[in-house]
Amino acid sequence: QVQLVESGGGLVQPGGSLRLSCVASGIIFSRYRMGWYRQPPGKQRELVAFITSGGSTNYADSVKGRFTISRDNAKNTVFLQLNALEPEDTAVYYCNARLGYIDFWGQGTQVTVSS
């Protein structure tokens, strides 16, 4: 059974930081492209960043220079470091594992940026 379990969300003031984690089980983690998506209130889910099995990264323009994605294959974990947070970053953040046409999703973790 495949599971992706996110953690690290919460309430933070503008300009603050958070670190999200996603632990995967039931897959050969190192083979998967791992990504973070988010769904702001009342909007569609959007890609935030992904990291390939080879370690290449890609970011949405809105988060470049502020967010950093990384992975630890030994721990089956992908991270998203969120810095300089803005109210517009408020969303449910979802972890994604993708291999070809296979997609797995976590349950999401809420990030709220508010003073």
Tens digit of each residue's pLDDT (9 = 90 or more) over 42-77 = 999 999 999 999 999 999 999 999 999 999 999 999
Residue 10 in contact with residue 89, Cβ under 8 Å? no
Question: Tens digits of per-residue pLDDT, 66-113?
Answer: 999 999 999 999 999 999 999 999 999 999 999 999 999 999 999 999
User: Residue 106: CB partners within 8 Å, gap ≥ 6?
Assistant: 4, 5, 6, 22, 94, 95, 96
Between strands 77-82 and 18-25, the pairing is: antiparallel
